[in-house]
């Protein structure tokens, strides 16, 4: 299905994902951790929805993310996306399921389609070197196994720029091109936010087209508002995030958001960390 277009639709889907009975119908075999396709009872219109269920017990230990859980980070990233207005993350909840506690995220599109959702509308693509079309930004040049020289490019679009700002906020360490799709209405959605919200700078992304450029005024305003909320005693968002993240990661989030708001520019690649995920797409 397509993603929600209104806050009311998102809240309804959050409720369905949180309380609907889960039935496992398949496994995503190419995923590095256990990722299960599930049917969720209820809505829209009581017909049920499809979702991705990632149980904590199916997570492989990671040396660079030793604390917390990927499911917790997935859910925290969704909460932050919704709280900031950069709502490119599909509705996501943390709940008990057939294999225990895990994240449950609305599935965008048809999981059985011959082509991935939005295959003809991918916002990140490969083109021959020197062939960047108008309205697109170049990220990096490379060479394919067959010897062809190509450039990774992405759209110069406002909603994709929203995703880039969100990635800076959550310190996304794995923003591959394939993690960004457009549904049949053209709405942008981003997936796989388990490798986020670390205390150390770990931004690794294909969305470097705006690196070093000034943030838009609305970005600075949203960052400042989020920084205030993260500093507010008793703020519900902070309470929700505290249940999902290690304490150090939550503290680093507040500091990172304030630095982004004050600095006023899109981040540059950090010299101590690979800047492009592998594979990039």
- CB-based contact 136:115 (threshold 8 Å): no
What pLDDT, on the 0 to 100 scale, is given for residue 117? 54
Contacts made by residues 232-239, CB under 8 angstroms, sequence distance 24+: 237/79, 237/83
Q: Mean pLDDT for each consecutive 10-residue tract of the chain (281 residues)?
A: 77 90 89 91 72 94 88 96 94 95 90 53 89 93 88 95 97 93 90 93 95 96 96 93 94 95 93 81 77
What pLDDT, on the 0 to 100 scale, is given for residue 86? 94
What pLDDT, on the 0 to 100 scale, is given for residue 114? 45
CA angle (38, 42, 43) in 5-degree steps? 105
Sign of the C-alpha dihedral computed for residues 73, 77, 79 and 80 taken in this order: positive
182 Cβ contact partners less than 8 Å away, ≥ 6 residues apart: 117, 118, 121, 122, 123, 188, 189
Instruction: For the beta carbon of residue 6, count every other beta carbon within 10 angstroms.
Output: 8
All domains of the chain in start order, with CATH: 7-113+158-263 (1.10.510)
What is the C-alpha separation between 87 and 13, in angstroms, rounded?
Answer: 14
Predicted structure pTM score: 0.91
């Amino acid at each position: 299905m397509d993603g929600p277009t209104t806050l009311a639709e998102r809240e309804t889907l959050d409720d369905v994902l949180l309380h609907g009975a889960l039935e496992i119908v398949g496994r995503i075999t190419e995923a590095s951790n256990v990722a299960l396709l599930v049917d969720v009872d209820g809505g829209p219109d009581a017909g049920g929805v499809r979702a991705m269920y990632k149980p904590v017990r199916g997570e492989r230990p990671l040396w660079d993310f030793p604390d917390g859980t990927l499911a917790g980070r997935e859910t925290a990233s969704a909460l932050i996306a919704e709280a900031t207005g950069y709502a490119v993350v599909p509705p996501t909840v943390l709940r008990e399921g057939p294999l225990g506690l895990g994240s449950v995220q609305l599935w965008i599109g048809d999981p059985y389609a011959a082509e991935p959702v939005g295959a003809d509308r991918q916002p990140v693509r490969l083109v021959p070197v020197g062939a960047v079309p108008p309205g697109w930004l170049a990220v990096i040049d490379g060479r394919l196994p067959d010897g062809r020289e190509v450039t990774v490019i992405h759209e110069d679009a406002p909603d994709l720029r929203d995703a880039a700002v969100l990635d800076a906020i959550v310190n996304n360490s794995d923003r591959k091109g394939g993690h960004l799709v457009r549904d049949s209405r053209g709405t942008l959605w981003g997936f796989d936010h388990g490798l986020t919200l670390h205390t150390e700078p770990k931004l690794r992304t294909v969305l470097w087209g705006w690196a070093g450029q000034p943030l838009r005024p609305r970005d600075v305003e949203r960052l400042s508002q989020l920084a205030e909320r993260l500093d507010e005693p008793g703020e519900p968002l902070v309470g929700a995030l505290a249940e999902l993240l290690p304490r150090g990661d939550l503290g680093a989030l507040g500091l990172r958001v304030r630095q982004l708001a004050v600095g006023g520019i899109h981040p540059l690649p950090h010299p101590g960390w690979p800047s492009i995920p592998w594979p990039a797409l």
